Amino acid sequence: MDYISTRGRAPELPFDEVVLTGLAADGGLYVPRRYPTVDHKEIAAFAGRPYAETAETLIAPFTEGLPRDLLHQAARGAYATFSHAAVAPLTQIGDNLFVLELFHGPTLAFKDLAMQLLGRLMDALLETRGLRATIVGATSGDTGAAAIEAFRGRANVDVFILYPDGRVSDVQRRQMTTVADANVHAIALDGSFDDAQTLLKGLFRDESFRRGVGLAGVNSINWARVVAQMVYYFTSAVTLGSPHRKISFAVPTGNFGDVLAGYVAKRMGLPVERLIVATNENDILARALATGRYEPRGVTPTQSPSMDIQLSSNFERLLFDAIGRDSGSVVQAFEALDRDGAFEIPPGALRAVREDFDALAVNEAETQAEIARTYRDSGYVIDPHTATGVRAARAQLEKSPGTPVVALSTAHPAKFPDAIERAIGLRIEPPPRLAPVLEGKERIARMKRDSETVKRFILEHARAARVGAGA
């Protein structure tokens, strides 16, 4: 199956090239030409199967051209790193209210579910082709740690992670900065995650830099991330009786990759009632769904820093579908965004988006109140990102009490001990996996948010730049 760019001006690519390419050359995002489907019998058959097996089955149709054995090995290896046998277990915290724990991977956030797989796929593809790559990623806290963990020490790859200085939690920062492997570089930039992601997209548009360092991306720009995140919508829904009943999902959202994965699951045939986009005070998506106007405002730092995002990269993929896959209209929308600072979602597209999605913005006080309420009612501690999802799930249950709602728990609470302590008065015990992170010596490259400065640093440190990406 070939992949096309949302902006329609980049070459069509097969899956293995998409994995290594990141952002399309026209600035768009790659999407599959069509969504493969699974029927109800196939969905029912996922019940009781190991997570890695279900992942392999669901992902395989997206990976035409990739040797099946490679996917098989990657999936087995990826999910063996998780500390829970179910990989992504469900916990019930109320009537028809479930939490999907996505934090049992090596860095205690949902990013591991995709990044552990992507790391293995990329590594194998580079190895068979005799290539090196320079991964540059932008993070608001969790992608960076997950990418570093997935690629640390790998011979074919150097990893550079751009993060907004002072705007991630201490644990998140230390997860990136205490890793001693020489191929890992944590770069602190002034400004917000949006600034870092914009700088990153600019690097992808610089053809000579891109070629010179063998630039690759592991943000959800990379379709493999999205497709790997689609799997847990199926596994959790099947646990709750899918395909014989519909399920709704409430998803803490920032860059829109996770909730887009839910939309992909629905397009593949999973019976999903509603996808609820939960935002923090950085509420561009909630405003866009309510008004039809996509208009970023300045990023406000919150206690859920990984969602402090206003330029939700993957919204472009949804818009592309909602607009009838008319890449010209997508280009116009993003030109208007650059020129006027906003665009209007065409009425037909907005209707299409609203058929699948609802959105709720959850403010700081509500987030604290939700952490406290969930702890009081169920003795269960949720992190501030998860709290936005649980709050949105409760709102959905008021509208539709008969349909189970799964709130995605995107991070372990130990990554945000201060916010938890404020809410429930308890200092959360760090899990053993955090011990080296809390004790290690930090190594940070601080620099100005200026693409020439960042490029210079990468060129000086990337092995692919010295020996050639194809060496």
Catalytic residues: 111
> Which residue, 65, 69, 151, 63, is CA-closest to 106?
151
Torsion angle, alpha carbons of 117, 120, 124, 127, to 10? 140
Q: Which stretch binds ligand PLP (CB under 6 A): 64-72, 252-260, 286-294, 438-446?
A: 252-260
* Residue partners of 74: CB distance under 8 A and separation at least 6: 117, 120, 121, 124
Binding residues for ligand LJ64HWYM, rule: CB under 6 A, are 139-144, 219-220, 254-255, 257, 306, 313
Cα distance between residue 110 and residue 103, in whole Å: 5
Site for ligand PLP contains 411 (CB under 6 A): yes
Site for ligand PLP contains 286 (CB under 6 A): no
- 97 or 187, CB closer to ligand LJ64HWYM? 187
Q: Are 374 and 387 in contact (CB under 8 A)?
A: yes
- 310 or 327, CB closer to ligand LJ64HWYM? 310
Which phi and psi angles does 306 have, rounded to 5°?
-70, -15
Site for ligand PLP contains 306 (CB under 6 A): yes
Other beta carbons less than 10 A from residue 244's beta carbon = 11
Site for ligand PLP contains 308 (CB under 6 A): no
Rounded to a whole number of angstroms, the minimum distance from the CB of residue 107 to ligand LJ64HWYM is 10
DSSP letter at 75 equals H
- 38 or 285, CB closer to ligand LJ64HWYM? 285
**Residue of 112, 142, 308, 316 that binds ligand PLP (CB under 6 A):** 142
Site for ligand PLP contains 385 (CB under 6 A): yes
Rounded to a whole number of angstroms, the minimum distance from the CB of residue 300 to ligand PLP is 15
Site for ligand PLP contains 410 (CB under 6 A): yes
Site for ligand PLP contains 368 (CB under 6 A): no
Site for ligand PLP contains 252 (CB under 6 A): yes
Question: In terms of DSSP bridges, do strands 13-14 and 157-164 run parallel, antiparallel, or are they unpaired?
Answer: unpaired
Rounded to a whole number of angstroms, the minimum distance from the CB of residue 143 to ligand PLP is 6
Write b or e for each residue in 326-346: b if 16 or more Cβ atoms lie within 10 A of its Cβ, otherwise e.
Answer: ebebbbebbeebeeeeebbbb
Site for ligand PLP contains 118 (CB under 6 A): no
Cα distance between residue 360 and residue 397, in whole Å: 13
Cα distance between residue 236 and residue 363, in whole Å: 27
Other beta carbons less than 10 A from residue 398's beta carbon = 7
Which one of ligand LJ64HWYM, ligand PLP, none is in contact with 252 (Cβ closer than 5 to 8 A by kind)?
A: ligand PLP
Q: Whole-angstrom distance between the N-terminal and C-terminal Cα of the chain?
A: 29
Cα distance between residue 227 and residue 224, in whole Å: 5
Site for ligand PLP contains 258 (CB under 6 A): yes
Site for ligand PLP contains 345 (CB under 6 A): no
- 217 or 252, CB closer to ligand PLP? 252
Site for ligand PLP contains 317 (CB under 6 A): no
Cis ω on the peptide bond leading into residue 243 (within 30° of 0)? yes
Which residues contact ligand PLP by CB under 6 A? 109, 141-142, 220, 252-258, 306-307, 385, 410-411
